[in-house]
Amino acid sequence: MTKIGVEQSLTDIHEALAELGYEVTELRHAADAAGVDFDFCVVTGLDTNVMGIQDARTDASIIEANGMTANEIVNEIRSRLNQ
């Protein structure tokens, strides 16, 4: 099953993905993604690190939801899964 971490403020995206049967977990901090075997992480992009310092690492595909609808996020995930 596809595991997706979704940033806390993106409730509409969380609900849309859960309704489609994806395993969705709420991300409260970028560090939540570290050490968890997510396939995708959906983030707002509002907490972009302007200093360029990274302290969380993940092998998950990151999707920045800024300016995207829930439907566009779903389509992006489906597209990446079919590659």
Per-residue confidence (pLDDT) for residue 53, from 0 to 100: 43
Mean pLDDT of 44-56: 55
Q: Please count the residues of the chain.
A: 83
Strand partners, 24: 4
User: What is the chain's mean pLDDT, rounded?
Assistant: 82
Per-residue confidence (pLDDT) for residue 40, from 0 to 100: 94
Q: State whether residue 49 is helix, strand or coil.
A: coil
pLDDT for residue 29 is more than 70: no
**What is the distance between the alpha carbons of residues 4 and 24, in angstroms, rounded to a whole number?**
5
Reading phi first (left if > 0) and then psi (alpha if -120 to 50, else beta), residue 21 is in: left
- Determine if the pTM surpasses 0.85: no
Would you place residue 51 in the very low, low, confident or very high pLDDT band (cuts 50, 70, 90)? Answer: very low
What are the φ/ψ torsions at residue 71 (nearest 5 degrees)?
-65, -40
Mean pLDDT of 68-77: 96
